[in-house]
């Protein structure tokens, strides 16, 4: 099968990209041809299909809105809104790659704003079925995350006007209005009715998507997976644990947070919890923000009196260095403030046999169920600190959680299990031409 996978970015960045590259490898191992389609940023990884990629909305170096908002003329602002709503440029480029590469199915990941849902029309016009994997709540919430002022908010299930009232995006009525306009147009033209299947990584996501009329009767709960190369790396690392390349971080025990450093991920809560931990254990935060938030968190840590040697911000880490970082950790922490769908960071932690302290919200609570970690209320500094103390002080408990974590990764989150579930949907869509 020739499969077009569409995602805004084609370089390591966040969860959707981890899934993109892992899924590409998984499909190719089973003999499928995978063709990527994305915006051509400066960091874009080279691929034979790069000539099909479309220009980014602003320029190749600007990924996040905060990076370019002060440089936007009125004309460029109008252009951004138009592109997020419906892009003929993207539709034509997608139609071309579908036609020239003889695509059998289109798989959409994160395409909001940059690529836009115009890809769906490109596929529909050639009777090519479309499956959409739900990375966040962008079809239900203008701010994507059911989060407002650091608290869970689902008011927009009753209408997008609530987002306008609260100015949920960038604190700006104009920015929020542009997003609400795009979503309203998408609903009015019924473009998402043309999607044949919606894949939800968490049960919570699947349940919430029942509020989205085009998805009803087309929802499939399929957890994401741990990439086989990661499992192989972990196994190799375990077999070679006596080799001298032990990471520096292993010289002292440390708790690890890795992923996007942003307010919704609960980084501030984590720092406040760690500041009062009173245990001989470090904290490592691996990730970046792209908008200065990481630097603000470094300043917060200093103001909280956290000793510099005990806290390390490593910046973005991936591949083998990240695997070593996870392997050396005492445990991992996922203190999200929102209904995080099913973070790849938790999957990767489980694959390394690491207990996870995670917020009892959304997909995280499902991921660490069955004794794989400790759930804590979101935003609760004291509860998070107590959970960290528990894992530091109770190695026997930590060992039990680690065994359960590794077992869950090898069974429920095994790549072959994910492949069989997804390919069954792909085959069904091809049979019915999208349903």
Does the pLDDT value for residue 234 go beyond 90?
no
Residue-level pLDDT at 319: 83
Tell me the per-residue pLDDT of 379-396, one tens digit each, with 9 for 90 and over: 999 999 999 999 999 999
Q: May I ask the CATH architecture of the domain 2-225+415-432? A: 3-Layer(aba) Sandwich (3.40)
Tell me the per-residue pLDDT of 154-191, one tens digit each, with 9 for 90 and over: 999 989 999 999 999 888 898 899 999 999 999 999 99
CA–CA separation, 104 and 98 (whole Å): 8
- β partners of residue 109: none
Tokens of 88: 């003929």
**Each residue of 5-20: b (16+ CB within 10 Å) or e?**
bbbbbbebbbbbbbbb
Does the pLDDT value for residue 239 go beyond 70?
no
Distance of CA 160 to the CA centre of its chain: 23
Tell me whether domains 2-225+415-432 and 228-410 share a fold: yes
Does the pLDDT value for residue 229 go beyond 90?
no
Among 75-84, 377-386, 413-422, the minimum mean pLDDT is found in: 75-84
- β partners of residue 312: 284
Where are the chain's structural domains? Answer: 2-225+415-432, 228-410
Q: Which fold has domain 228-410?
A: Rossmann fold (3.40.50)
Backbone angles phi, psi at 356, to 5 degrees: -120, 130
Backbone angles phi, psi at 85, to 5 degrees: -80, -55
Residue-level pLDDT at 15: 81
Q: For the whole model, what pTM was predicted?
A: 0.86
pLDDT confidence tier of residue 253, bands split at 50, 70 and 90: very high
CA–CA separation, 383 and 388 (whole Å): 9
Tell me the per-residue pLDDT of 297-349, one tens digit each, with 9 for 90 and over: 999 999 999 999 999 999 999 888 998 999 999 999 999 998 988 898 999 99
Averaged pLDDT of the chain: 90
Cβ atoms of residues 341 and 363 within 8 Å: yes
Residues across the chain: 435
The residue-averaged pLDDT of 111-129 equals 96
Does the pLDDT value for residue 242 go beyond 60?
no
Residue-level pLDDT at 244: 40
Among 39-48, 163-172, 224-233, 324-333, the minimum mean pLDDT is found in: 224-233
Residue-level pLDDT at 245: 44
Tell me the per-residue pLDDT of 1-25, one tens digit each, with 9 for 90 and over: 999 999 999 998 888 898 999 999 9
Does the pLDDT value for residue 371 go beyond 60?
yes
pLDDT confidence tier of residue 60, bands split at 50, 70 and 90: low
Residue-level pLDDT at 61: 65
Cβ atoms of residues 267 and 285 within 8 Å: yes
């Amino acid at each position: 099968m020739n499969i077009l996978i569409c995602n805004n970015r084609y370089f390591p960045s966040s969860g959707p990209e981890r899934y993109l590259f892992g899924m590409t490898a998984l499909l190719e191992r089973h003999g499928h041809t995978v063709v990527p389609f994305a915006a051509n940023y400066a960091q874009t990884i080279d691929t034979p299909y790069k000539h099909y990629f479309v220009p980014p909305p602003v320029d190749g170096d600007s990924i996040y809105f905060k990076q370019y908002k002060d440089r936007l003329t009125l004309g460029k602002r109008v252009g951004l809104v138009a592109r997020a709503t419906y892009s003929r440029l993207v539709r034509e480029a997608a139609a071309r790659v579908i036609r020239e590469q003889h695509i059998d199915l289109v798989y959409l990941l994160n395409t909001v704003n940059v690529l836009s849902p115009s890809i769906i029309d490109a596929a529909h016009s050639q009777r090519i079925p479309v499956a959409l994997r739900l990375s966040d709540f962008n079809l239900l919430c203008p701010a994507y995350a059911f989060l407002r002022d650091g608290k869970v908010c689902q008011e927009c299930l009753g209408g997008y006007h609530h987002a306008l009232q609260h100015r949920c995006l960038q604190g700006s009525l104009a920015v929020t209005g542009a997003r609400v306009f795009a979503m309203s147009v998408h609903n009015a033209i019924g473009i998402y009715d043309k999607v044949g299947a919606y894949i939800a990584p968490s049960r919570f996501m699947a349940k919430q998507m029942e509020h989205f009329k085009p998805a009803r009767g087309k929802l499939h709960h399929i957890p994401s997976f741990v990439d086989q190369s990661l499992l192989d790396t972990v196994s190799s690392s375990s077999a070679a644990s006596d080799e001298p390349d032990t990471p520096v971080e292993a010289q002292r025990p440390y708790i690890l947070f890795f992923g996007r450093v942003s307010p919704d991920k609960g980084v501030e809560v984590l720092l406040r919890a760690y500041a009062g931990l009173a245990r001989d254990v470090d904290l490592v935060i691996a990730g970046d923000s792209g908008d200065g938030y990481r630097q603000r968190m470094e300043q917060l840590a200093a103001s909280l009196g956290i000793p510099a040697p005990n806290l390390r911000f490593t910046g973005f880490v991936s591949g083998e260095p990240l695997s070593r970082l996870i392997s050396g950790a005492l445990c991992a922490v996922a203190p999200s403030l929102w209904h995080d769908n099913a973070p790849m960071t938790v999957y990767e932690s489980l694959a390394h046999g690491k207990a996870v302290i995670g917020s009892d919200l959304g997909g995280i609570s499902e991921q660490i169920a069955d004794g794989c970690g400790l759930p804590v209320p979101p935003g609760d500094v004291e509860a998070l600190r107590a959970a960290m103390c528990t894992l530091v002080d109770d190695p026997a408990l930590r060992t039990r959680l680690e065994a359960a974590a590794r077992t869950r990764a090898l069974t429920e989150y095994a790549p072959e299990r994910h492949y069989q579930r997804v390919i069954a949907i792909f085959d069904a869509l091809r049979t019915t031409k999208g349903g």
